[in-house]
């Protein structure tokens, strides 16, 4: 069964909008685990506009499931991840002022850089994943970096799902087939939600993990985390 990792950046955004510690990020993370989440994802950015570096340091000791830290591997991020040593690090090529992640790595162009960074993390026993578009060539070059997994950037699928789900998922299936042939693990994330997640999970061979934040939090405003987490797990089963 595909594992569900919940991205809690939006919880941090809500907390930061008023100062103080409401909602309590650590309590939300542990509650999500108790409701069935199989991992927690955070994406600290240099301006710390949502997840702060101190949040990352405080979360790892209290979680009972996997911690996945996403981000652009600038020196400060590398130092943070090697200090915490989470279960997984996901490398994302986002600019400092990006609202959200909007593209995968050009794994051919940045191969040497990724090899160096991934080697550093693997020396600390951290599982590595890199954000890639559903392009077969990018998956093939990802293999050369030494990464353990790729995370398929699923925005294009989500945007085209209602119009033509089969066409929307087709490039992801091909990318997944290549990844499986190369023995690279497959994660996915970005704009997946309760409406489109089941079709995606059913069609992507050996999908190990999805990371969902914005949609899951928005759906939970109406339905509550305690209900939404099992709904995702049912769709992923």
Residues carrying an active site annotation: 43, 70, 190
Q: In which element (H, E) is residue 159 found?
A: helix 155-160
d(CA 170, CA 190): 17
d(CA 125, CA 23): 32
Nearest to 39 by CA among 2, 10, 68: 68
d(CA 82, CA 216): 29
Residue 198 near residue 232 (C-beta atoms within 8 A): no
Three-class secondary structure of residue 102 per DSSP: coil
């Amino acid at each position: 069964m595909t594992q569900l990792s919940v991205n809690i950046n939006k919880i941090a955004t809500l907390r930061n909008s008023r100062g103080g510690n409401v909602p309590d990020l650590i309590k939300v993370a542990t509650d999500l685990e108790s409701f069935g989440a199989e991992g927690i994802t955070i994406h600290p950015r240099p301006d710390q506009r949502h997840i702060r570096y101190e949040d990352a340091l405080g979360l790892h000791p209290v979680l009972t499931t996997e911690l996945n830290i996403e981000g652009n591997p600038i020196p400060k991020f590398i130092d943070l991840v090697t200090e915490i040593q989470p279960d997984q690090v996901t490398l994302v090529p986002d600019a400092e002022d990006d609202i959200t992640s909007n593209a995968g790595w050009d794994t051919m162009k940045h191969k040497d850089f990724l090899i160096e960074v991934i080697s550093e993390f693997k020396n600390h026993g951290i599982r590595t994943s890199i954000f890639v578009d559903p392009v077969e060539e990018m998956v093939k070059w990802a293999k050369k970096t030494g990464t353990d997994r790729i995370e398929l950037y699923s925005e294009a699928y989500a945007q085209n799902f209602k119009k033509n789900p089969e066409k929307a998922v087709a490039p992801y299936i091909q990318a997944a087939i290549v990844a499986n042939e190369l023995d690279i693990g497959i994660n996915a994330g970005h704009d997946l939600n309760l409406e489109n997640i089941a079709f995606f999970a059913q069609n992507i061979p050996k999908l190990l993990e999805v990371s969902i934040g914005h949609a899951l939090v928005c759906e939970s405003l109406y339905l509550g985390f305690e209900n939404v987490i099992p709904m995702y797990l049912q769709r992923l089963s």
